[in-house]
Structure 1
Amino acid sequence: MSLAKPKPVNWPKHYSEQLFHITEVMVTDVASPPVAARIYAYSNLAAYLIAKESGKGFENSDILGQTYLTDYNWDLPDSELSSSEFAAIYAMLKVGESIMPSGYLLKERQQEWIDIAIKGKILSKKEIQMHVAYAESVAASVMAVAKKDGYLQLSALTRYTPQKGEGFWYPTPPAYIAAIEPEWQTIRPFFIKDLEAYAPAPMALFDMTEGSPFHNQLMEVYTTTNELNDERKLIANFWDCNPFKVKFSGHMAIGVKKISPGGHWMGITGIATQKAKLSFAETSYIHALVAMTLHDAFISCWKAKYDTDRIRPETVINQKVDQRWRPLLQTPPFPEYTSGHSVISRASAVILTGYFGDNFDFIDSSETYFGLPERPFPSFLYASEEAAISRLYGGIHFRDAIENGLAQGEKIGDMIWTKVNK
């Protein structure tokens, strides 16, 4: 009588599930979109490092050689791992623990991951300790790099103050939250060497003269939001991804749990890896590449936002057109130009299209945890187009911020994809 063969491990599913635990903590911490992208970048980088060090399936997939880390000495300990996959995911969780204010919540998840490995016979109890020690060493090396990227210096920089005069950004209802991450352009990117090279095309200048480019766009937002059908409302809400959304009950402000824009695209990446049944090497590679692309795209976008300091539709419509008007979506607390969703969605879509192909259809279930239905897409680029236009339907962006944001993201995505495929 022959013994039954052990079931193959579904590594893409494990990877996505464990990465989502990091997302859950970000939601708890109300991590801003750029901060969330930074967390995804370093946590996925840790997993990629271990997977790559194992040598399994990494003959032609080097990311680090195209970043500023090309000559960095990681000083990884010598070790023959029985499961580099287990160690990679554990390191990812360990970086998440170290890099987030509420990261301690991941300690329980780390133990759960150990239990899964033992129960699934991925590792024996005797092997666990060595694998955990290795993963913790790699996580510490990644955190040493993270501590030098400028993030720890942000609190010492001059605080942002809204500019006086028409056309400049000002805090918006209902919570009038202060500007988020105004100095994010000082954070070090992985791939971008010159931020100016990825600046968007010029925006329409503030001009309330009837028929001016700015006024036309303003009235487009006003008219579009007043004539939304159910499908457009669904699209706007599906891509909302505003971690700062607040509801009021009497005098009490209540935060509404929302995934970040980057978190949505990390979710899409996980969905694609599972559909394609990738190996663990491929899974860790594409997650790290998308996460690091998100990081760079947010830095570029946030530089544009605070360089232009442009007013949001809600502010100018209330001042000049209709005092009672409110956008379908709650306006996020930072300047308008360019649209972050447009920039990071297109950059991510370019990377995913390069990896999985032009017409890779998928069902996006990234938002089901937050009460939204699944949504099918025929391609990543189509999804990025919908994510971008959702900001017009939501009433929070002008058209040029959307279209020029898409172009900005495409330029970043093309550069990164070209670099890693030299």
Structure 2
Amino acid sequence: MPSARPYLRPTRRTLLIGAGAGAAAVAAPGLTGVAAARGSDVDTVLEWYDVTAATIGVITGPLQVNSSRTWAIAWIAAWRAVTRARGGAPADAALAGAVHEALATLVPARTAELDAALAATLDRLGPAAAVGAAVESGRAAARDVLTERAGDGLDLASVNRPFTPPAPAPGVWQPTPPGFAAAVQAGQGDGRPFLIDDVRAYLPGPPPALDSARYARDLAESRAVGAVESSRRTDRQTDVARFWAQTSLNGYTGALRAAVTSGARVRRVALVALFHAATVDAQIVTYAAKYRDLRWRPVTAIRTETIAPDPAWTPLITTPAHPEYPSGHTTYAGAAETALRTLAGPPAGPVALTSPTAAGVTLTYRDWRELTRDNIDARVWSGIHFRHTDEVGAAVGRRVAAAGLAHWDGRPL
């Protein structure tokens, strides 16, 4: 198996040159808008960030880690290509060539739009021989990374392999109402990470025992504030819950964009690459734990448990079709927070985000930790997780990302 780390060799000192986060996030434009961009004031990093976001689009949970992998491969290739270029137009061309090659290979249905975006970039950069050579260098970098990541177990079929639920028992996960859908992402925990070596080293301990005070407290909270008709949940809490019902990858695309708005080109490209590498690793770890512990969801516990069973209880948000512990959303949030704090520093200004699952709601954040806080609360207010599960997920994500980022350049951060 090829090493996961050789292409992550530029030092952290190089990465941090020109560090500084941007201000407010803006919605990523569609590819048609990107392809129409002209003028010397176009920022090629943001241009191809938005191309990548538009290529991935709005996704569902079963597509998330595969889509995160696409981001990571494309921007690791861009990082390699940019560090080999001499700056200026050739570096921009190398970036565009790398991202285009990776995305066209992994999302072939978008090739026409990607070709148009690349043509727009090259038209702006001009016909110099160095520009053409840099595009080819970027394409070669992408092919190298694609080869190295072949067979990593993060393709859709491997991630979403069939899973047979265990026999019903107290605490044990079962398909959940209303659709009682088959489990998804059962193979995700077997994927090959980008930055860490041993997934097992980052697995959390087991969830609280069913006869523990912590479990009883969390069960009562989820029952009270997570019900679809809850009188305890405020309007703001409902908005936050619905906002973060989107996939984490979509939710953090605007936040990461705010962090790459300004600074040295190589630092910004590396930030995108490392952010997605770290969050992929966190997603692998959390699903390894989910399918190890097979913990039941609140809806199953509340409807069937001997403690005041309520067969009609329904959560605010439909329960995802996979085990409960730990939370995938909060694991991602913890990893994202760590990557952003470590590599970008605090936001330079308020970061305003919107969500495809909460029309008309805008949430504004001034610290990366605030997104993690909202993710922890949101999954309880949604009625789909227990609070301890969310807190453990965030801790796992932070630990995975911190270890991965320390590992990639061979010394502690």
Q: TM class, shorter-chain normalised?
A: 0.7 to 0.9
Unaligned 5+ segments in structure 1 are 1-5, 57-80, 242-259
1:94 aligns with 101
Q: Is the 8 A contact 1:21 1:109 kept in 2?
A: no
1:269 aligns with 256
Q: Is the 8 A contact 2:159 2:191 kept in 1?
A: no
Q: TM-score, normalised by structure 2?
A: 0.80
1:256 aligns with none
**SS at structure 1 position matched to 2:260:** helix
**Pairing partner for 1:175 from 167, 175, 179:** 179
Q: Is the 8 A contact 1:360 1:379 kept in 2?
A: no
Q: Is the 8 A contact 1:162 1:168 kept in 2?
A: no
Unaligned 5+ segments in structure 2 are 1-38
Alignment of 1:9-408 (within 5 A): 9-24=42-57, 27=59, 31-54=62-85, 56=87, 82-99=89-106, 103-119=107-123, 121-124=124-127, 130-151=133-154, 155=158, 159-164=162-167, 165-207=169-211, 212-225=213-226, 226=230, 227-241=232-246, 260-274=247-261, 277-320=262-305, 321-358=309-346, 360-365=348-353, 367=355, 371-408=359-396
Q: Distance in 1 between matches of 2:83 and 2:133?
A: 18
Q: Distance in 2 between matches of 1:334 and 1:311?
A: 9
Q: Distance in 2 between matches of 1:216 and 1:123?
A: 64
Deviation at 1:127, TM superposition (A): 7.2
Deviation at 1:117, TM superposition (A): 1.8
Residues 144-185 of structure 1, C-alpha deviations (whole Å, 9 max, x = no match): 112132346965998421111221111222332211121222
Q: Distance in 1 between matches of 2:188 and 2:256?
A: 25
Q: Distance in 1 between matches of 2:311 and 2:380?
A: 19
Q: TM-score, normalised by structure 1?
A: 0.78
Task: Say what the alpha-carbon RMSD is for the aligned residues.
Answer: 2.8
Letter of the 1:144 partner, please give it: T
Residues 84-136 of structure 1, C-alpha deviations (whole Å, 9 max, x = no match): 2233233223322322xxx22321222221332245x2133977765554433
Go from structure 1 to structure 2 and tell me whether the alpha carbon gap of 1:39 and 1:115 turns closer, same or farther (over 3 Å shift): closer
Q: Distance in 2 between matches of 1:111 and 1:152?
A: 24
Q: Is the 8 A contact 1:336 1:401 kept in 2?
A: yes
Q: Distance in 1 between matches of 2:99 and 2:358?
A: 23
1:8 aligns with 41
Q: Is the 8 A contact 1:187 1:299 kept in 2?
A: yes
Q: Distance in 2 between matches of 1:408 and 1:110?
A: 36
Q: Distance in 2 between matches of 1:381 and 1:332?
A: 25
Q: State the identity as a percent.
A: 22
